[in-house]
Structures are given as structure tokens and as C-alpha cells.
């Protein structure tokens, strides 16, 4: 049982991240759009943290050697299975020999492909997430064969043109101008009055952005102090002003320690928005509070829980994956 990569584009096998990494100096890494990654796994009947494919920006194709059930989430794109057009954000049956194609990723930047039963990937400190600095992880290449763990016979649609599933998840919206919510950083006072520029400026995403951080062009707050900062741990989402050219927003591949003052921190929910920002997209920042940010994060998790329960019901009616314990979420790494 396997998948064979025909056109890798820019794709890796990842999960929600290496949560035990930071204490050893390794970034957490993992799926940049955590909501889409969790949703893909839930729609495929997997635990949230199961290994899945992250496809960034470029077209991607793979062939199934066995009957599979998959789900594709994340940035809007044109999804076909065996030439048939299929829906994102829904479980999709793939028959042995068919090709799954993701084309024209648009509006956002990253798509997620989860396979029922997941795929095998090597693990470091409890996670399969690639780490480019250590040189760890499964980057997909043409001909890469991914072992899959469970076959699902094709689910036949008895009525000709009705969608197979309609699970009612509110899909994230993707815009070329995004509002990103942040809370004040621990060092906001070092920027004096210039800190307010962050909230009054429209920033443009630079092409030099990646999984380590996004670089944003626009009016820059300036540090008003000069004292040397000892290296310290910086959170994912930290906004720094390391140069006179660009704002730096750290994402999940960030180095764990740094010596720049932290102006603001992007909320967990808005990190998903940034994960989908394309070069040239516009970003504005809105200030929020930690309790409000936590409430929004939990609301999103509740929505995913509701989806999990719906998927569970539908799948058990269809006799998919109802082996004992199949619904057990894989524990997050390190817990």
C-alpha cells in the first residue's frame, strides 16, 4: 500500500510540530497552517497530529497504488482525482492506480493532503516535521514512495451528481489583504511611540519569506534603546525589527533564541493566516489581548471537534476505519 510521487513541486511530510525541540535548541517546525492541517487529518479520519503532506505554492501530483481515502485542505486550488474534479475540505475516495493532482494553488500558499491511516515517516524527538538546519525530514521527490497504512474501498455515490460528503466546516477565507491579530510583545516599550506604526501601516509580504519567518516591507517601528540584549527564547509569532529594511515575523521554523527586542506577538489563529500569505500580499495588524486570542483559538478547536464528531458518525455508517481506537488522536509530541 503506497503513494508514488509523480510531481513533487515543493512538498514535505510533516505533522503539527516538534514540541520537545525548543528545549534542545530545535525549532518546533511542523505544518505552518495548523488549522488546515488538523482539518485535513480529521476529514481523513486520522488523529490531528498524524503525518501528512504539506504542499507549498507549486503544482503536485501523486499516484495511489491502492484504494485510499484522502482529504485536501489549505489554500484554494484545483483538485482532480483520476481526472475527476473533486472538492477540498471533504473526504475523497481515490482508486488504486488513480492520480491525485493539486494544481493552481491560488489565494493562499500551502495545501495539506491527509491520507486515511496516514503515511510512514521518520521521527526525531517525537515528530516527523522536517528541520532544514539539522537536515532532518522527508522532502518529497519524483518517484518517492510513501507507505500508506490503510486501504479504503471506493465509496460509491448512489445519486449521480450529489457531493459525497457535506460536512459543513466553515472554511477559512483567503484574501490578498489580510488582517493579522497580535498582542503587545514583552519589549514593546523599547519602541516608544513608534510602536503604533505597526497598527497604522499596510505591509507587503516580501519574496524572501519562508517557514522561518515572513519579511514585511512598510513603515518600521524603531527601537529607542541601545542596550545589548542577551540571547533569550523567542516565541513563534514574535515580531522583530532586525534591520532598517523590513519587519521580521517569526514562524514555526524560527531559531529558538535571539537577541532582538520583541515588539508584538502574532496570535496562534493569525499564524495560520500568515502561513497562507503570498509574496506581494498586503498585511495589516490589529491589536488584541491574550484572553481574546485564546478564546478565538479555542473556538477554532471546538469547530474542529464538531467536525471530528460528524466525520466519526459518517465514517462509522460507511464502515470506514472503525477499528478499535481509530479515533484516538495521536498524542501531541512530547506529551
* Interface residues toward other proteins, by CB under 8 A: 19-20, 22-28, 124-125, 133-136, 183-186, 228, 230-238, 255-258, 262, 265-268, 290-291, 293-294, 297-298, 301, 332, 334-335
**Least distance to other proteins, CB of residue 297, Å:** 5
Contact 107, 174 (CB under 8 A): yes
Pairing mode, if any, of strands 78-81 and 91-94?
unpaired
**Least distance to other proteins, CB of residue 123, Å:** 10
**Least distance to other proteins, CB of residue 127, Å:** 12
What is the edge-to-edge ordering of all strands in the sheet holding 145-147? 84-86, 78-81, 99-103, 60-64, 2-7, 145-147
Nearer to other proteins, 26 or 43 (CB): 26
Nearer to other proteins, 36 or 268 (CB): 268
For 157-166, the CB contacts below 8 A with 24+ separation are: 163/87, 163/90, 164/90, 164/91, 164/92, 164/93, 165/90, 165/91, 165/314, 166/90
Nearer to other proteins, 25 or 192 (CB): 25
**Least distance to other proteins, CB of residue 62, Å:** 27
Contact 48, 307 (CB under 8 A): no
Q: Radius of gyration (Cα) for the chain, nearest Å?
A: 20
* Spatial CA neighbour of 269 closest among 240, 301, 247, 238: 301
Nearer to other proteins, 56 or 183 (CB): 183
Nearer to other proteins, 63 or 270 (CB): 270
User: Which of helix, strand or coil describes residue 237?
Assistant: coil
**Least distance to other proteins, CB of residue 272, Å:** 13
d(CA 107, CA 103): 12
**Least distance to other proteins, CB of residue 24, Å:** 5
List residues bridging with 113 in a β-sheet: 53, 72
Nearer to other proteins, 14 or 268 (CB): 268
User: Which of helix, strand or coil describes residue 157?
Assistant: coil
Start-end of H helices in the chain:
34-43, 197-200, 268-275, 290-318
Nearer to other proteins, 88 or 267 (CB): 267
**Least distance to other proteins, CB of residue 293, Å:** 4
Amino acid at each position: 500500500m503506497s503513494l508514488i510521487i509523480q510531481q513533487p513541486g515543493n512538498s514535505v511530510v510533516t505533522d503539527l510540530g516538534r514540541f520537545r525541540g525548543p528545549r534542545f535548541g530545535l525549532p518546533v517546525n511542523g505544518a505552518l497552517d495548523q488549522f488546515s492541517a488538523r482539518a485535513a487529518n480529521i476529514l481523513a479520519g486520522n488523529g490531528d497530529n498524524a503525518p501528512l503532506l504539506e504542499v507549498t505554492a507549486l503544482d503536485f501530483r501523486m499516484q495511489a497504488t491502492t484504494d485510499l481515502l484522502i482529504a485536501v485542505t489549505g489554500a484554494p486550488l484545483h483538485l482532480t482525482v483520476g481526472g475527476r474534479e473533486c472538492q477540498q475540505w471533504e473526504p475523497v475516495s481515490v482508486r488504486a492506480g488513480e492520480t491525485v493532482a493539486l494544481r493552481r494553488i491560488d489565494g493562499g500558499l500551502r495545501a495539506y493532503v491527509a491520507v486515511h491511516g496516514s503515511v510512514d515517516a521518520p521521527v526525531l524527538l517525537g515528530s516527523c516535521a522536517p528541520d532544514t538546519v539539522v537536515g532532518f525530514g522527508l522532502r518529497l521527490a519524483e518517484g518517492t514512495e510513501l507507505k500508506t497504512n490503510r486501504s479504503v474501498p471506493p465509496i460509491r455515490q448512489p445519486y449521480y451528481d450529489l457531493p459525497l460528503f457535506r460536512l459543513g466546516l466553515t472554511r477559512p477565507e483567503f484574501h490578498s489583504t489580510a488582517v493579522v491579530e497580535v498582542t503587545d510583545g514583552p519589549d514593546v516599550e523599547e519602541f516608544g511611540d513608534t510602536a503604533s506604526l505597526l497598527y497604522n501601516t499596510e505591509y507587503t509580504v516580501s519574496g524572501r519569506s519562508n517557514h522561518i519567518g515572513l519579511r514585511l516591507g512598510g513603515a518600521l517601528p524603531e527601537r529607542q534603546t541601545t542596550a545589548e540584549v542577551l540571547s533569550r527564547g523567542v516565541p513563534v509569532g514574535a515580531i522583530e525589527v532586525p534591520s532598517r529594511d523590513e519587519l521580521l515575523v517569526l514562524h514555526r521554523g524560527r531559531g529558538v533564541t535571539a537577541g532582538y527586542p520583541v515588539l508584538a506577538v502574532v496570535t496562534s489563529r493569525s499564524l495560520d493566516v500568515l502561513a497562507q500569505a503570498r509574496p506581494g500580499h498586503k498585511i495589516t495588524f490589529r491589536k488584541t489581548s491574550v484572553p481574546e486570542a485564546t478564546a478565538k483559538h479555542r473556538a477554532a478547536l471546538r469547530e474542529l471537534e464538531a467536525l471530528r464528531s460528524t466525520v466519526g458518525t459518517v465514517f462509522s455508517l460507511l464502515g470506514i476505519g472503525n477499528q478499535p481506537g481509530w479515533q484516538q488522536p495521536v498524542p501531541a509530541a512530547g506529551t
